[in-house]
A and B are shown apart, each in its own frame.
Chain A
Amino acid sequence: MTPLSLALAHSLPEVILAVGVLGLVLYGALRGKASDGPVTEIAVGLLGAAILVILLGFKEQAILFDGAVIDDGFGRFMKVLALIGSLTALVMGQDFLARERIDKFEFPILVLLATLGMMVLISAQNLISMYLGLELMSLALYVVAAFNRDDLRASEAGLKYFVLGALSSGMLLYGASLIYGFAGTVDFAGIAAATQGHVSIGIIFGLVFLMTGLAFKMSAVPFHMWTPDVYEGAPTPVTAFFGSAVKMAAVAITVRVLMTAFPGAEAQWRQIIVFISILSMALGAFAAIGQTNIKRLMAYSAIGHVGFALVGLAAGTQEGVFGVMVYMAIYLVMTLGSFAAILSMRVAGHAVEQISDLSGLAKNNPLMAFFFAMLMFSLAGIPPLAGFFAKWYVFNAAIQAHLYPLAVIGVLSSAVAAYYYLRVVKIMYFDEAAPAFDPPTPALRVVLAITSLFVLFLFAYPALFIDATATAAKSLF
């Protein structure tokens, strides 16, 4: 195989998405109707095809396109997670968008473009491909956040996200140029070589700016401020997309940059990670308590969970990366399940999103209440549900790296965070019944059931999942 054809073969999932997007744009534009028609179905098919190609495709590691891209186990794992997130968000959201009359064909196309950006981002091997991937993803996200442009809150959310995102992109670019200036290269491997031994303060500065940009995408404190507003304002399927796929990509690239480009500066970046991790966990735990809107609650929950995932990264070891990956995978499942439940919150055709609307769900729809309760318990990290294992692995890694204060703070804040998850359960089970929800669509039911059963029964046979993750984690070392 020539280098080009090999490279194309390795990036077949990206190629599928890119070509598919172009085809769908043409199709949608020529068709000229308002509703999305089969575009969503085709987009779902493309995402599914990409997942299959990754699962059945190459198993070895390869650096492609003159060092711009790497195809490795870690990347494939995180890509599959991101693809699952996008796919599920699309499937779950179709009905919602149709009811809100914003089911334009551009929506799935933008989701595909964002996903393509995530794939580029996750497999980035130099600063340029990282930036391009990030921008591709972000631009599409700005638009989908404001997709319901006639809705004031959605427009506001999109605008806020755009302005702050531009600021963070600027910082990231500034950091990248500092790093380029001091290391003389944009290549991750080259940067790693340049930071071996002595690390100049310039590179540290560049790293700080770079981390700022990435932390913004992960919504880690203090770069999280957009999160609650955007989560609340954006249409719910978009929020699900933000909470699932986007988080996967952001965390993946953070791990990759720090592990492959800056192993020499580990002592330095660990301080940043510990800092934002502690702030995120604490803020996620405390600020969520006062919330009355379930989407806003999920936003703070996301902030807290990113903090937990970063605990594993702070360890900087293979166990740590493994912990982060386990965490993200389980978090993906829990988030998708929770949003399936939130999307099902619909009274007499209108979407509701107050936590109090869940009152007495256990009487109106016991199965849904049970599934949602399991997801909440899992998010709170209660054994033997999957969320417990997620936390266990990252804390374990932190302990092994002797980051005892971090682990202790993590456990304490997860105890505080348990309060508001349990409050949701309490409201569902013990409060006076509110008006019953409309029956959820089959897609939502399936997603809710699968995710809840996953978190419920992961403990019975975790070996398959854990082994796959461990293998993928090895590829970074």
Chain B
Amino acid sequence: MIAALFFYLFSAVLIASAFLVITSRNPVHSVLFLILAFFNAAGLFLLLGAEFLAMLLVVVYVGAVAVLFLFVVMMLDVDFAEFKQGFMRYLPVGGAIGAIVLLELVLVVGGWRVDAASLANVASPAPPAMSNTLALGRVLYTQYAYLFIAAGMVLLTAMIGAIILTLHHKVGIKRQDVAAQNARTPKDAVELRKKSFRQGV
């Protein structure tokens, strides 16, 4: 009963905040609503007993990704009003399509019955008396090693892509060269000169 109550609470807030992410005029508000949405999603995970995923969501998405977003949004002065110019123009069409798809999905998902046959298909059922983290760890590096490595390659690609598209080697800029700094000795850097007293340099 309590679980059901919290489920509906989390879900309602999640949907509402997701909606506000799109509609709010201030981008900073959008990101804040996004963070709220993440928290609620984490709550839903908790209700399902997936505490590891819930924590992951909070730590990674809220702690890292969303905060990064916030920085970016605040640092770049993006004029979101310009972006949203066409919004009202296309609202009727977009709204209609969205409504149709939504209606149809409701029709479909409404008739969803989780039958026994489907449950029997589950690839790695969570073993009883084992923590979430342990269960994930057991299969992640064994059964799903291939997929794990593939995911690693995806991240590597993203990294390379980000670097190649954004890193500019501008000429005429002084950069910090740690090796050069460490290699410096007082002899290279400092020069002592005898100067006679009370005279200009």
Contact = CB atoms under 8 A, between A and B. Distances in A.
A129 B146 CA distance: 8
A184 B121 contact: yes
A66 B160 contact: no
B93 to A, nearest CB: 15
Contacts of B151: 132
A170 interface: no
B70 to A, nearest CB: 21
B34 to A, nearest CB: 16
A185 B122 contact: yes
B72 interface: no
B157 A136 contact: yes
Contacts of B119: 184
Contacts, number: 103
Contacts of B156: 21, 25, 113
A78 B44 CA distance: 42
B5 interface: no
A69 interface: yes
Majority secondary structure, A binding face: helix
Interface stretch (B14-22, B56-64, B105-113, B178-186): B105-113
A110 B112 contact: no
Interface residues of A, number: 46
B157 to A, nearest CB: 5
B165 A184 contact: no
A110 B161 CA distance: 8
Interface residues of B, number: 32
A158 B149 CA distance: 26
A185 B147 CA distance: 16
Contacts of A110: 157, 160-161, 164
Contact of B111 (A21, A158, A183, A202): A202
Contact of A143 (B104, B120, B149, B164): B164
Given A116-B153, A136-B153, A139-B161, A194 B118 contact: yes
Interface in A148-195: 149, 158, 181-187, 190, 194
A420 interface: no
A66 B150 contact: no
Given A113-B160, A194-B121, A65 B146 contact: yes
A143 B160 contact: yes
B99 interface: no
A18 B108 contact: no
B146 A205 contact: no
Contact of A136 (B109, B120, B145, B150): B150
Given A18-B153, A140-B157, A149 B146 contact: no
Among A69, A132, A190: residue with most chain B CB under 10 A: A132
B123 interface: yes
A122 interface: no
A201 B149 CA distance: 34
Interface string A121-143: 00000001100110110011011
A132 B147 contact: yes
Nearest to A17: B153
Given A18-B149, A202-B111, A109 B121 contact: no
29 contacts: A18-B149, A25-B156, A65-B145, A66-B144, A68-B144, A106-B163, A106-B164, A110-B160, A113-B156, A113-B160, A128-B144, A132-B147, A133-B150, A139-B157, A142-B161, A143-B160, A143-B161, A143-B164, A147-B164, A149-B165, A184-B117, A184-B118, A184-B119, A184-B120, A184-B121, A184-B122, A202-B112, A205-B105, A205-B108
Interface of B: 104-105, 108-109, 111-112, 114, 117-123, 143-147, 149-151, 153-154, 156-158, 160-161, 163-165
